[in-house]
């Protein structure tokens, strides 16, 4: 019975992913003006979703956080793409692999939860699965694509997986704080833009900062 109830949501997520992924990859590959405009559109949507939540319990610091979060994330994505398409692809694939690994391993093996009052479905086994999937994906991309990262940076994928999960927890905590289920309803089965980039945001910022430090 439980699986039947969750099936429609899974189907929606799958269909949305299949429909959106080629568009996202094309924009990433194209880069330039089209990619920057897409990031700008995402920034506007992120701000809209953020403010829809914050207005439920207004506080000036949440608006300050909005600027830091939205601008930081979007600038990081633009920076990564400006460096190299494959760098941005690597970051995205590692985060996506983390999500897939955490979901599959957590669903199959269960186990103790990390912080059930914030995110009741996330388990320690799921986190470990996400770290393994991230490392394997990072290594395969390193072997098969001209990714402009060192061997040592490639091996930090498990750390990136942890940071992605922290970003996921932050967004879950924020939604619980404001009493909402999703940040929005733009993407069927997924929620809003903030729901989709919660793990990518901190990882993109971290890698962009590392790139800036390396080039200085």
**Residue 183: CB atoms within 10 Å:** 26
pLDDT band at 9 (very low <50, low <70, confident <90, very high): low
pLDDT in tens, 85-111: 999 999 999 999 999 999 999 989 988
**Spatial CB neighbours of 53, under 8 Å, sequence gap ≥ 6:** 174, 175, 178, 180, 183
Rg of the chain (C-alpha set)? 17
Confidence of residue 18 (pLDDT cuts 50, 70, 90): confident
What pTM, to 2 d.p., does this model score?
0.89
| Burial class (CB within 10 angstroms; exposed 0-12, middle 13-18, buried 19+) of 106 | buried
Instruction: Indicate whether 3 pLDDT > 50.
Output: no
Percent of the chain with pLDDT over 70: 93
Q: How many structural domains compose the chain?
A: 1
Give residue 114's domain range. Answer: 2-215
């Amino acid at each position: 019975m439980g699986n039947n109830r969750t099936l429609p949501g899974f189907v929606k997520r799958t269909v949305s992913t299949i429909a959106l992924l080629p568009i996202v990859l094309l924009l990433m590959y194209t880069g330039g003006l089209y990619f920057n405009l897409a990031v700008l559109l995402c920034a506007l949507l992120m701000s809209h979703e953020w403010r829809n939540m914050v207005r439920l319990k207004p506080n000036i610091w949440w608006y300050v956080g909005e600027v830091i979060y939205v601008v930081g994330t979007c600038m990081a994505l633009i920076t990564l793409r400006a460096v190299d398409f494959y760098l941005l692809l690597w970051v995205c694939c590692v985060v996506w692999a983390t999500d897939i690994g955490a979901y599959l391993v957590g669903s199959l093996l269960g186990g103790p939860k990390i912080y059930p009052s914030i995110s009741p479905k996330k388990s320690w086994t799921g986190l470990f699965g996400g770290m393994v999937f991230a490392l394997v994906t990072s290594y395969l991309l390193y072997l098969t694509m001209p990714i402009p990262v060192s061997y040592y940076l490639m091996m930090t994928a498990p750390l990136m997986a942890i940071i992605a999960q922290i970003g996921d927890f932050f967004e879950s905590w924020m939604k619980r704080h404001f009493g909402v289920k999703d940040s929005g309803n733009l993407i069927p089965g997924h929620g809003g833009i903030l729901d989709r980039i919660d793990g990518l945001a901190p990882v993109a910022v971290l890698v962009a900062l590392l790139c800036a430090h390396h080039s200085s």
